[in-house]
Amino acid sequence: MDSPRKSGRQRRLEIRERRRQRALAGNTHSVPAEPGRHWPAGAVAADPAELDHNNTYGMLPLYYADRAFICRDCGSAELWTAKQQKWWYEIAKGNINSTAVRCRSCRTRERTRQAEARRIHLEGLARKTTPPTE
């Protein structure tokens, strides 16, 4: 039974969890639809013109479907929605073979870690190439 006191956030989490379960159970890959076969529920049509940046001999997707995945770092059960995939492949121009591997917070942490590693690396390079000032 749904209580009327449930918060919007709680409800959104429940809807997301249902979609994740459905993605787990059903077709979880954005493969081209076979003629006559129905797209999975919640599928979003792909725009081939926006996928032009992919230099691939493989087939480009006709649609995106929700994909369930486990975060590589923290192991949390996550959902990469069809809409997020469309954004990633068509707006952000992500490679067609790339997929979500980390949850949002682990992604942020990883980005920070990489930026920090890059900074330390560049500082090291600068020390090596700059002669001592004395």
Using CB under 5 A, list all residues that contact Zn ion: 71, 73-74, 103, 106
3-state secondary structure of 100: coil
Residue 43 or 100: which CB sits closer to Zn ion? 100
Burial class (CB in 10 A: 0-12, 13-18, 19+), 67: buried
Q: Minimum distance from CB of 118 to Zn ion (Å)?
A: 22
User: What's the gap between Cα 117 and its chain centre?
Assistant: 23
Q: Minimum distance from CB of 75 to Zn ion (Å)?
A: 7
Q: Minimum distance from CB of 133 to Zn ion (Å)?
A: 44
Residue 22 or 102: which CB sits closer to Zn ion? 102
Residue 56 or 76: which CB sits closer to Zn ion? 76
Helix/strand/coil percent split, the chain, to 5: 45, 10, 50
